[in-house]
């Protein structure tokens, strides 16, 4: 029983540390993106309102929605353009830093080969 509690504690600490690392990375990227004086007002407003705009860079998407789900089936790299999945759990807001595995509803973001957001879909 004591061994089980120890293992559970280690797993919880590891999850918290991994999530914390993702949050730090998200915050750093957000600060760098928002410091860009050449960013359009439309994209800046979208980031502030946690929305998406076609034409955003991957960094701008992270600044707006956070990191995509790493372990989700929909997140994958491709020479023609990456696909990112964000998991929604019964709400309209993405989970930032979603290194969480769970049953949810995915939103898929499609980037071109240059890393520019083309479109997104919930299918």
Q: Where are the alpha helices (DSSP H) in the chain?
A: 2-34, 41-48, 58-65
Confidence band of 41 (pLDDT split at 50, 70, 90): very high
How far apart, in Å, do the first and last CA atoms of the chain sit?
44
Give the pLDDT of residue 71: 76
Percent of the chain residues past pLDDT 90, beyond the cut: 46
Structural domain span for residue 50 = 1-122
Give the pLDDT of residue 60: 97
Task: With H, G, I as helix, E, B as strand and everything else as coil, classify residue 95.
Answer: coil
Give the pLDDT of residue 88: 66
Give the pLDDT of residue 101: 47
Note the pLDDT tens digit of each residue in 53-104: 999 999 999 999 999 988 777 788 888 999 999 886 554 544 444 444 444 5
Task: Report the domain count for the chain.
Answer: 1
76's CB contacts (< 8 A; 6+ apart) are: 82, 83
Burial of 72 (0-12, 13-18, 19+ CB in 10 A): buried
């Amino acid at each position: 029983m004591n061994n089980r509690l120890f293992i559970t504690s280690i797993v919880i600490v590891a999850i918290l540390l991994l999530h914390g690392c993702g949050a730090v990375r998200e915050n750093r990227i957000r600060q760098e993106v928002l410091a860009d004086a050449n960013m359009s007002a439309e994209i800046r407003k979208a980031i502030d309102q946690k929305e998406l705009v076609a034409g955003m860079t991957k960094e701008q998407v992270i600044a707006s929605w956070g990191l995509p789900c790493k372990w989700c089936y929909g997140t994958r790299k491709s020479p023609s353009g990456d696909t990112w999945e964000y998991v929604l759990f019964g709400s309209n807001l993405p989970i930032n830093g979603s290194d969480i595995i769970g049953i949810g509803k995915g939103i898929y973001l499609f980037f071109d080969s240059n890393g520019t957001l083309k479109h997104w879909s919930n299918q």
